[in-house]
Amino acid sequence: MSTHFSKIIKTGNRQRAFSFKQLSNGTDFRYSVEVQDDKGKPTVFSMFKNAQGHWETAPQPLPIWIHNAEAVLSSAIKEHLQEQSV
């Protein structure tokens, strides 16, 4: 199973390359996600699976365009996991 993948996602009026890296702590899986802002500065944040099975950003201050893309980021992780299980 690949622990790294990238996905181009449109958010904040532009397409951005999000890089996902799977992290595990026993049975707890998280993703570290990196994306560049408009000035090229990297923003790194975590995503985890909530009690309902949806991937969401960890509570931390993030640009609004990342929060607005949370559902699409969650879908990208789910798609990747489905591709890996085939």
> What is the tens place of the pLDDT at every residue in 3-59?
899 999 998 789 999 999 998 766 678 999 999 998 999 999 999 998 888 899 988
Which amino acid type is present at position 2?
S
Characterize 48-85 residue by residue with b for buried, 16 or more Cβ atoms within 10 angstroms of its Cβ, and e for exposed. Answer: ebeeeeebbbeeeebeebbeebbeebbebbeebeeeee
Radius of gyration of the chain (CA): 13
**How many angstroms separate the most distant Cα atoms in the chain?**
38
Q: Where are the domains of the chain?
A: 4-85
Query: The pTM is what?
Result: 0.88
Residue 61 is encoded by which pair of tokens? Answer: 């201050």
